[in-house]
Chains A and B, each alone.
Chain A
């Protein structure tokens, strides 16, 4: 079974700073990769996803992520954060082919952006 680790538990930064959140997974085969965001009191929303092709993926709200297969990583980046980016961020992976469609989540990173 695959596992996912997110390196940062809590990140605090100022508006306009750059953000990078680390995500590594352990699975030797092919994977689908996702970043989800959960704003305070709200539900999970998909920021971006990687299935195949260009390893640099652009998502919503100015986020992007890079899949580096050799490092089993899928790090999330945003060049300039806003106060509204304060949220919980989850990396998720599912192995393919998969008979159980399980999505493995990382523990999450709390991002606090100070105005």
Chain B
């Protein structure tokens, strides 16, 4: 199984809502990533987890809260988002080490009203 799955595919939320994005992989990868992508722009790294521990937070606002419950799952908890947070949120996973090709999921299209 060389697939990264993400749910939901689409999410519309108000600025006062709390929601979560989910990501799952069964490739045995021990590094997992959250990216934010705006239209026709490259993905921007938000967080990196390595061996279920947060290793990188790219100065992301606290209204985004990542969680890695186990080696296969990655969540992104959303609270009090702003309209400018509307984007495609991509999850990726890779092996840890030299040849860390990242496998991307299909993304969650988030709209904040």
A100 is an interface residue with CB less than 8 A from chain B: yes
B39 to chain A, nearest CB (A): 9
Range, interface on chain B: 20 to 34
A88 is an interface residue with CB less than 8 A from chain B: yes
B31: chain A residues at CB < 8 Å are 101
Scan B88-99; emit 1 where CB is below 8 A from any A CB, else 0: 001000101011
A17 to chain B, nearest CB (A): 22
Q: How far is the CA of A94 from the CA of B61 in the complex (A)?
A: 25
Chain A residue at minimum C-beta to C-beta distance from B39: A88
Chain B residue at minimum C-beta to C-beta distance from A45: B104
A32: chain B residues at CB < 8 Å are 98-101
Q: How many residues of A contact B (CB 8 A)?
A: 26
Known: A43-B105, A100-B56. 19 other contacts (CB 8 A): A32-B99, A43-B106, A44-B43, A44-B90, A46-B101, A46-B103, A51-B98, A90-B43, A92-B42, A96-B98, A97-B98, A100-B48, A100-B55, A101-B96, A101-B100, A101-B102, A106-B42, A107-B41, A110-B40
The interface of chain B, by Cβ under 8 A from chain A, is: 31, 33, 40-43, 45, 48, 50, 55-56, 90, 94, 96, 98-107
